[in-house]
Amino acid sequence: MEVEKMTNMDYEKLLDLEPQNLNHLRQYTIFSLKTKSYKKAHELLLKILDIDPNDIVAHNNYALLLTYEIKDYKQAEMHYQKALELDANNLSANKNYQNFLKLKIGKSEYYQRIQQLSFLVKGKIVADSIVGNSGFILILDDNSSVVSFLDDDKLFYKYIENEVSQKDRDLIYSNHYGDGKSPLNIDIPYANQICDLASEIANAHNQPITGLSIGENAFNFCFPNGKELETMIVPDKDRKITLRVFWEQW
């Protein structure tokens, strides 16, 4: 019988005869996903992975099912990562994992909190800046300001409509955090470069803010032509958490 004409009963009959037949199990899984029989698809995918723990497609499909139907993000991430561990160049697994990460970040409390800043600053021009070891202040053309500062090893913000107070300035100077100026001996982008926060952030002067790019624990101010103030929270040479910022184009 042609695969396109197979029914649920037909697949069940095939598996009664050959319950370990991976081809039948895979075809039945595709059929179940297409017909939105997610409970059955879940059962079949687990059986496939029990027979062949290195089935990349099964890991990928199971991760998708866990993400969008079962909503078990912890298990989903494990299966995305397993698929990529088996084949780091798998286009489908890479695409699905990137979409998952965007979804995961988008649902986080941190993302929701930082996203509000975008509506406050979009379209405003950076007139000046103040830089400390654990944060920086962007002074905008309407006399409002944004204090970006480290707290609990994440980058947060305080939006100020009027003059920046000393208390606000104190937020960007903290003995709890290190000095990220010197090159670092770790495997991250720009690790071998000196990070002069004042010089990097000064590149944003006279530039309009077009939005924000929000990660798991930090956010970037975005500007025209793909430019961003890329922020990174990393350990310095003394293993203290520190803030590094680079003016980069994406």
Handedness of CA 135, 131, 226, 241 (dihedral sign): negative
Check residue 58 and give its pLDDT. 96
Same domain, 51 and 9: yes
228: exposed, middle or buried (Cβ count in 10 Å: 0-12, 13-18, 19+): buried
Check residue 90 and give its pLDDT. 93
Same domain, 152 and 102: no
Check residue 186 and give its pLDDT. 79
* Report field, pTM of the whole predicted structure over 0.85: no
Check residue 35 and give its pLDDT. 87
pLDDT tens per residue, range 188-233:
778 889 999 999 999 999 999 999 988 888 999 999 998 999 999 9
The SS3 of residue 132 is: coil
Q: Which domain holds residue 23?
A: 3-106
Euclidean distance between CA atoms 41 and 57, whole angstroms: 13
Domain boundary residue, one of 106, 123, 140: 106
Domain boundary residue, one of 106, 126, 141: 106
Check residue 189 and give its pLDDT. 76
User: Residue 152 CB: number of other CB atoms within 10 A?
Assistant: 7
Same domain, 14 and 57: yes
Task: Report, as ranges of residue numbers, the positions in the chain whose pLDDT lies below 70.
Answer: 1-4, 106, 250
* CATH number for 61: 1.25.40.10
Q: Are 218 and 180 in contact (CB under 8 A)?
A: no
Q: Are 24 and 11 in contact (CB under 8 A)?
A: yes
Instruction: Identify the helix (H) or strand (E) that includes residue 147.
Output: strand 145-151
Q: Which residue in 120, 108, 102, 196 sits closest to 158, CA to CA?
A: 120
Same domain, 244 and 121: yes
CB contact set of 5 (below 8 Å; sequence gap of 6+): none
Same domain, 120 and 231: yes
DSSP secondary structure string for all residues of 197-233: HHHHHHTTTT-B--EEEE-SS-EEEE-GGGEEEEEEE
**What is the DSSP-derived secondary structure letter of residue 208?**
B
Same domain, 140 and 243: yes
The SS3 of residue 210 is: coil
Amino acid at position 69, single letter: E
Check residue 72 and give its pLDDT. 83
Same domain, 12 and 130: no
Same domain, 159 and 96: no
Same domain, 124 and 239: yes
DSSP secondary structure string for all residues of 118-129: HHHHTTPBEEEE
Check residue 113 and give its pLDDT. 85
Assigned token pair, 176:
């709890």
Domain boundary residue, one of 74, 106, 138: 106
pLDDT tens per residue, range 25-36:
999 999 898 888
Same domain, 161 and 140: yes
Query: Could you tell me how far CA 235 lies from the centroid of its own chain?
Result: 19
Check residue 4 and give its pLDDT. 62
Same domain, 63 and 139: no
Same domain, 170 and 52: no
Query: Total domain count for the chain?
Result: 2
